[in-house]
Amino acid sequence: MDRTFVMVKPDGVQRGLVGEIVARFEDKGLKLVAARFEALPEKRVNDQYKEHLEKPFFPSLKKYIMGGPCFLMVWEGRNVVAIVRRVIGVTNPQEAAPGTIRGDFGIDIGRNVIHASDSPESAAREIAIHFKPAELCSYTRIDESIIYEY
C-alpha cells in the first residue's frame, strides 16, 4: 500500500474541522497510520516548504503555519496520493469543486484548510520530515477485503 502526508493547517484546526476531515478520509476507505497534533517548529516548516523559501509569499506562509497548532497525519491506501488530492480539491478554494474539503470549507488560497503531498516522492519526503519510522503503525483494517479487489 502507498502512503501520503496530510496536514490540517491552523485555520482548519481553529475552525474545528479536524474530525470532519479525518472522517472523510476514513469514509473513503483510507487507513490512518500516524497522527500528531502540534505547533510546528521553524526548522520543520522550512523543510516542509523548502521549494518556497525564496518566494515573496514565504514569510507570511511561515507566520501562518507557525501561528497555531496543526494536525499531521499519514494515510495509507492504494493510489492514496491521487485519492487524497481529489478529496481535498485544488489549491485555490474558489476553484475547488463542491464536495471537496477546500471547496466546502475554504475561501482564500492563503487559508485553504489543508495540505497534502502532491506526488509519491513528496509524500515520502514529507512523511520523513514529520514522523519517525517507528511512529507509523501497520495494521489491517477490518474492512480492507471489502474495499479492495485482491
Q: pLDDT by residue (tens digit) across 16-34?
A: 999 999 999 999 999 999 9
CATH topology of domain 2-133: Alpha-Beta Plaits (3.30.70)
Structure confidence at residue 150 as a pLDDT band (50, 70, 90): confident
Q: Which residues pair with 7 in a beta bridge?
A: 72, 115
Q: Supply 94's cell numbers.
A: 474558489
Please report, for the chain, the start and end positions of each structural domain, with discontinuous segments joined by +.
Answer: 2-133
Contact 71, 116 (CB under 8 A): no
Would you state the torsion angle of the CA atoms of residues 130, 4, 119, 68, taken in this order, to the nearest 10 degrees? Answer: -50
Structure confidence at residue 136 as a pLDDT band (50, 70, 90): very high
pLDDT at residue 3 greater than cutoff 90: yes
Q: What is the share, in percent, of the chain residues with pLDDT greater than 90?
A: 98
Tell me the average pLDDT of the chain.
Answer: 97
pLDDT at residue 81 greater than cutoff 90: yes
Question: What are the CA-CA distances from residue 66 to residues 60, 97, 112, 131 (Å)?
Answer: 10, 28, 15, 18
pLDDT at residue 122 greater than cutoff 90: yes
List, by residue number, the catalytic residues.
Answer: 115
pLDDT digits (tens, 9 = 90+) for 36-66: 999 999 999 999 999 999 999 999 999 999 9
